Amino acid sequence: MILVTGSRGAVATHLTRMLHDNGLPVRLGSTHPDALTPPEGVHTVRLDLTDPQTFPAALAGVTAVFLYASADHVTDFIDHARTAGVDHVVLLSSSSVLGPDAENDPLATSHLDVEKALLASPVITTTVLRPGSFASNAGAWAWAIKAGKPVSLPFPEAHSDPIHEADVAAAAYAALTDPRHRGGQFTLTGPESLTFAEQIDHIAAVTGRPITTHHVSRDQWKHQMADHLPGHYADALLNWWESNDGKPVPTTHTVEDLTGRPARPFTAWATDHTTDFITP
């Protein structure tokens, strides 16, 4: 039995479908299992990764886990997983852990703490997936685009390596099912380095609607995001974008190495999510 955590997320949704379609037993863990719409025959269970009391029932009979975890109670989760007989965890981490000051980076530190805890386990084999920038981050612009308002960008020429969530799921499926990848550490990116302005141009092309941008200062952007993003996270993001302003970021072929198929371009993601940007 494979336990998929974070089951309401896009990666977990794609992964669940792949596992189910290939006849593999899968259980979905979520803090709100009643809100899930799993494939027929897939069972759900309440799993709150901040509440160890929910761990035993979720892990009963499980041998492998797809884990998207916070550092809170990760050692408790490992203890319960070991007791249940889990011998393989595929961890969805972040490439931010590879940064020069990851231990002091708010975007990286929780991922790094989870990695360290799992990799220290002598019993459970951990495979680490470290995606870079999710293409779905562009969804943050959807409200402005649908409203016909400019998209505020503090660094419109900052580069990222947007990866389709379906490619992350395909990599996770390969890690769970192909013994050759077991125990590896993989950095996942999209196939190209794109600026935010280029990503917006792609969205405009697939929606058939012009999209304007507004170049704002760091402080203006932080003020706009104050209700949604704590200040220290906003600063970390701004620092990251500034460090990549006008500088292409490196990409990998890891998705193809794991899945046998190249990573989808950002245009594919934009096409798949066109309605997100045009539906009121």
Q: Where are the domains of the chain?
A: 2-131
Element (H, E) at 186: strand 185-188
User: What's the pLDDT score for residue 146?
Assistant: 92
The lowest-confidence range among 35-49, 55-69, 92-106, 154-168 is: 92-106
Q: What is the mean pLDDT of the chain?
A: 93
The lowest-confidence range among 87-101, 125-139, 194-208 is: 87-101
User: What's the pLDDT score for residue 236?
Assistant: 87
Element (H, E) at 65: strand 64-67
Burial degree of 89 (CB within 10 A; 0-12, 13-18, 19+)? buried
Dihedral, CA of residue 92, residue 96, residue 97 and residue 99, to nearest 10: 160
pLDDT confidence tier of residue 186, bands split at 50, 70 and 90? very high
User: What's the pLDDT score for residue 227?
Assistant: 82
CB 194 within 8 A of CB 266: yes
Q: Which fold has domain 2-131?
A: Rossmann fold (3.40.50)
Q: What is the DSSP letter of 230?
A: -
Cα distances (angstroms) measured from residue 276 to each of 149, 234, 235, 263, 269: 15, 24, 27, 21, 11
User: Average pLDDT of 250-255?
Assistant: 97
Residue with tokens 């029932």: 57
Task: Tell me: pLDDT of 100 over 90.
Answer: no
Which region holds residue 230: left if phi is over 0, alpha if psi is between -120 and 50, else beta? beta
pLDDT confidence tier of residue 33, bands split at 50, 70 and 90? very high
CB 112 within 8 A of CB 130: no
User: Average pLDDT of 158-181?
Assistant: 97
User: Average pLDDT of 253-274?
Assistant: 97
Number of H helices, E strands in the chain: 12, 11
Sign of the torsion formed by the C-alpha atoms of 116, 106, 181 and 24: positive
User: What's the pLDDT score for residue 233?
Assistant: 83
Task: Tell me: pLDDT of 280 over 80.
Answer: no
Burial degree of 128 (CB within 10 A; 0-12, 13-18, 19+)? buried
User: What's the pLDDT score for residue 106?
Assistant: 78
pLDDT confidence tier of residue 109, bands split at 50, 70 and 90? confident
Residues in the chain: 280
Whole-angstrom distance, CA of residue 174 vs CA of residue 168: 10
Whole-angstrom distance, CA of residue 182 vs CA of residue 174: 9
User: What's the pLDDT score for residue 5?
Assistant: 94
Residue with tokens 């997100």: 276
pLDDT confidence tier of residue 228, bands split at 50, 70 and 90? confident
User: Average pLDDT of 217-232?
Assistant: 86
Task: Tell me: pLDDT of 116 over 90.
Answer: yes
Comparing 248 with 71, the larger pLDDT belongs to 248
Whole-angstrom distance, CA of residue 236 vs CA of residue 56: 36
CB 190 within 8 A of CB 251: yes
Task: Tell me: pLDDT of 71 over 90.
Answer: no
Q: Spell out the residues 6+ positions from residue 235 whose beta carbon is closer than 8 angstroms to its own.
A: 222
